Structure 1
Amino acid sequence: MNIMGEIAISLNNVSKCFKRYARPVDRLKEILLPHQSAADEFWALRDINLEVPKGQTLGVVGRNGSGKSTLLQILAGTLQPTTGQVTVKGRISALLELGSGFNPEFTGRQNVFFNGRLLGLSHQEIEAKFDEIAGFADIGDFIDQPVKTYSSGMFVRLAFAVAVNVYPEVLIVDEALAVGDVVFQHRCMRRMRALMDSGVTTLFVSHDSGAVKTLCNSAVMLHEGRIYATGSPNAVIIEYMKLVTQEELGLLNETEQPTLLEESHDAFDASDRIAGETPDTPNIAHHNGNNGKPHRRGNRKALIQDVKILNSLGEYSRDNLVFNFNEEVTLVVDLVVYEPLQGCIVGFFVCDKNGNEIIGSNTWEENLQIGKLSPGEKLTVQFKFRLPLRPVSYSVTVAGSEDYTSVTFDWIDNALVFQVLPPDTGKNIHALVDLPMSVEVSRNLSNVSAVQV
């Protein structure tokens, strides 16, 4: 029995194979001689097992060609799996490709009614929702023009407006928020949040890690058609970025079997060091306080050896990383150089539990140019800042690179975790960050008539 309740989406050993033919005649030969196929098989998905509880939002990430769109098309019913079983409970509204399902010769109004009927709504139900759909799309008089005259932004406005305003029980969104202006993207985010709050099960594919971390309850990463990682959005995004970095460096072992997050190695293990070095510096994994496993990636031309946060008195206690609200702290980052560096930028992020960056900077942006570094050099960088943050726990990400265009030489997520206490004034902090402000209230009663009762 699933403790999270009813399962809205279930995939059991789902695989999808596409056949590729060198010549059109080979397809005909296969029909006539089914046992002598000349096709090359390409497995876009392999042995996908996945369950999404009703009302949850699942983020799907992965590089281009990893199988994300194929997975969503199977869930939407536009593709059939080669093997396996797919179960989706509830009305599906899918926004898979820009303008998919739209007839370019029809007007926007006609396409709204056409798509609504395809989704199972009656003509009367669509009429009742039309003003809301048109208002959300906000394309003005173009609603009565053929959609072939629309820009890409107008396409996605109308398509998204239809998808989220037809009472869906399951919403599938594939990169739709990448198109459109900033105002429309904010409107989409608010609408998707409202749908999630109302219990709509959502699958959301995006390369925007911030959107995945903000919108999703959990996430899955696909790689070469298989599930590579599952877990919290932040943990999966970390694995995704780690894999991208490995592939950029040419370090990915193609014969290695995909591993889940729970099986990943310690990011601060000595195996991360360059072969032949002497590990004479302390392991810094203990700073994390066991509140989130650190993850490391980079080309290892230099390595971050230690990360500490000092309180306002310059004191450090690795067993008690708790700070007062708005306390001034110092982040200390020590690193050692192993290969020549043409430049050096060291930076950090303070992140919330979802991995959203709240505070951050680096030496370059603070106008500190470190310059070239030689093997054997050691560097200590200190960042001093305040913590005007909501009283919860936060993690620190630290990183270094030669410049903005280079692969990082070291990047450590969850290097340490700390807690911020509530203000001693008793003030409730409602936002992520509480900045100093002045408030003035003026009352003008000169034009108010007294009424006697």
Structure 2
Amino acid sequence: MSGEIIVSGVGKAYRHWGSEWKRFAKWFGANPKPDSETWVLRGIDFKVARGEAVGIIGQNGAGKSTLLKLVTGTARPTEGEIHLTGRVAAILELGMGFNPELSGRENVRHAAGLLGFSGEDIERIVPEVEKFAEIGSYFDEPVRAYSSGMQVRVAFSVATATRPDILIVDEALSVGDAYFVHKCFQRIRDFRAAGTTLLFVSHDPTAVQALCDRAILLVAGKKVLDGEPREVFDYYNALIAEKENSKLLTVREEGGPVQTVSGTGEASFGSITLRNSAGEAVEYVGVGEAVSLDVAVEIHEPIERLVFGYMIRDRLGQPIYGTNTHYSEQVLGDLSPGQRLRFSVSFHINLGPGSYSVSVALSSTETHLVKNFQWRDLATVFQVANITHQHFVGSAWLPSRIEWQEEATDGAIEVRTME
């Protein structure tokens, strides 16, 4: 089936040979031992079905770009096998092999030829690439005069001039301007709707969660987690915050999603409850309704400085709103083992209908990257429904007043209001 990606037991090692004879012997089927070898990927297994979108995430040096080079065939694996079906378009690096002395138009013709387009097809797509890239007269200037953003515009435009069966995108889009990135994402969405398979590397959780069905987390060249994007990013963020002697675990509540909990343990959360104005625990709330988030905390070891924070996220895990007691100037200090605290956060649900979750954190500063006592994602989940207000769309409830004017022939203006 066109559009499938199968990666089986793939590893990549960079080897140093003490002599050219050893290298030659390796080419001719012998198995000499290298003087040294460094594995950047090892034991990678995953499958991407036709039309599926998978994000690859991880810190710098995790092996993300190397994996994409192996998948696209620009590098060969040391071990394992990779199978792809259908036409592949890849954007791995700025310029995509462009000749800096040739113009953008000339490079597009050359790149399209390398991608297998016929002469007739090349003449057809060049104007389309020029239109989508929107770089004006620079299209006929040497590429050496291009900014990085202009290179990305041309590279993406030619790689996606026709819909591929498989589209592979590294983090090149991160240098593009916001307008063009929106254009790129819309084209990717259109391709996905038509059945294109997507393999996408990015540090941007919003982009991965918006585009991808799954995410794969790489750590030090190994696959650590393969799952729903929100769950994988929660785990990834916890890994970043993890410090010496801290703990990291995932918990799946019965019938519920996976929670990620991390921290050093000097303080921990107890009950976390969303309540309505009557003080009742609720899972369903109406748009605009007043609620409070009640959070119990227990101190296990002496703490000089404690900051409590919370974050409301949408169903994709994207932040909607968050703050903490550092910003509200309510930091607590000199806490002792055995103390029990209770935080209450009051606010109105000025959100659109949908599913939301709350993440909570206990730390020493405004960021959990310094001392992370405990961080808990999906601490509570709630649904928002629009029961009493006019219909609207979006993730925020921003009640408005609309006025319109009609100018009479005599110049008088009558103002009319719609609420």
TM-score range, shorter chain: 0.7 to 0.9
| C-alpha contact (below 8 Å) 1:14/1:81 kept by paired residues | no
Aligned to 1:438: 401
Aligned pairs, how many?
404
In the alignment, does 2:43 pair up with 1:47? yes
Aligned to 1:77: 73
- Structure 1 residue 64, shift from structure 2 partner: 2.2
TM-score (norm 1): 0.81
Distance 1:102 1:340, change over 3 A: farther
In the alignment, does 2:387 pair up with 1:423? yes
Mapped to 1, the partners of 2:141 and 2:149 lie a distance apart of 15
Q: Which runs of 5+ in 1 are unaligned?
A: 1-5, 254-263, 268-287, 448-453
| C-alpha contact (below 8 Å) 2:276/2:290 kept by paired residues | yes
In the alignment, does 2:279 pair up with 1:314? yes
Larger relative strand fraction: 2
In the TM superposition, what whole-angstrom CA distance separates every residue of 1:247-300 from its partner, at most 9, and x where no partner exists? x436589xxxxxxxxxx6538xxxxxxxxxxxxxxxxxxxx7742232111222
Mapped to 2, the partners of 1:129 and 1:149 lie a distance apart of 23
In the alignment, does 2:269 pair up with 1:304? yes
Q: Residue 299 of structure 2: which of 320, 337, 340 is its match?
A: 337
Mapped to 1, the partners of 2:86 and 2:53 lie a distance apart of 15
Aligned to 1:15: 10
Q: Residue 349 of structure 1: which of 304, 311, 327 is its match?
A: 311
In the TM superposition, what whole-angstrom CA distance separates every residue of 1:305-346 from its partner, at most 9, and x where no partner exists? 231111022222xxx522122211111222233344443332
Aligned to 1:368: 329
Distance 1:265 1:291, change over 3 A: closer
The one-letter code sitting in structure 2 at the alignment partner of 1:293 is: V
Distance 1:97 1:251, change over 3 A: farther
Mapped to 2, the partners of 1:314 and 1:111 lie a distance apart of 66
- Structure 1 residue 111, shift from structure 2 partner: 1.1
Aligned to 1:155: 151
| C-alpha contact (below 8 Å) 1:15/1:44 kept by paired residues | no
Q: Secondary structure at the match of 2:89?
A: strand
| C-alpha contact (below 8 Å) 2:250/2:259 kept by paired residues | no
The one-letter code sitting in structure 1 at the alignment partner of 2:119 is: H
Q: Secondary structure at the match of 1:372?
A: strand
Mapped to 1, the partners of 2:114 and 2:181 lie a distance apart of 26
Mapped to 2, the partners of 1:402 and 1:245 lie a distance apart of 13
Aligned to 1:292: 257
| C-alpha contact (below 8 Å) 1:14/1:45 kept by paired residues | no
In the TM superposition, what whole-angstrom CA distance separates every residue of 1:42-84 from its partner, at most 9, and x where no partner exists? 3333232222121121111122222211221122121222333
Distance 1:252 1:309, change over 3 A: closer
The one-letter code sitting in structure 1 at the alignment partner of 2:187 is: R
- Structure 1 residue 446, shift from structure 2 partner: 4.8
Aligned to 1:326: 288
The one-letter code sitting in structure 1 at the alignment partner of 2:388 is: D
Mapped to 1, the partners of 2:64 and 2:247 lie a distance apart of 20
The 5 A counterparts of 1:181-220 are 181-220=177-216
- Structure 1 residue 208, shift from structure 2 partner: 1.0
Mapped to 1, the partners of 2:216 and 2:154 lie a distance apart of 28
Distance 1:301 1:131, change over 3 A: farther
Q: Secondary structure at the match of 1:383?
A: strand
Mapped to 2, the partners of 1:167 and 1:7 lie a distance apart of 13
Aligned to 1:139: 135
- Structure 1 residue 163, shift from structure 2 partner: 2.1
Mapped to 2, the partners of 1:106 and 1:337 lie a distance apart of 66
Of the structure 1 ranges 127-136 and 228-237, higher mean CA displacement relative to structure 2 is found in: 127-136
Aligned to 2:24: 31
Mapped to 2, the partners of 1:249 and 1:117 lie a distance apart of 53
Distance 1:297 1:422, change over 3 A: same
Mapped to 2, the partners of 1:27 and 1:379 lie a distance apart of 68
| C-alpha contact (below 8 Å) 1:15/1:43 kept by paired residues | no
Q: Residue 266 of structure 1: which of 237, 246, 251 is its match?
A: 251
Identity among equivalent pairs (%):
36
Mapped to 2, the partners of 1:84 and 1:428 lie a distance apart of 54
| C-alpha contact (below 8 Å) 1:395/1:418 kept by paired residues | yes
| C-alpha contact (below 8 Å) 2:56/2:199 kept by paired residues | yes
Distance 1:150 1:125, change over 3 A: same
Q: Secondary structure at the match of 1:120?
A: coil
| C-alpha contact (below 8 Å) 1:19/1:39 kept by paired residues | no
Distance 1:53 1:35, change over 3 A: closer
The one-letter code sitting in structure 2 at the alignment partner of 1:433 is: A
Q: Which runs of 5+ in 2 are unaligned?
A: 411-419
- Structure 1 runs (4+) deviating above 6 angstroms are none
| C-alpha contact (below 8 Å) 1:328/1:384 kept by paired residues | yes
| C-alpha contact (below 8 Å) 1:121/1:166 kept by paired residues | no
The 5 A counterparts of 1:172-251 are 172-246=168-242, 248-249=243-244
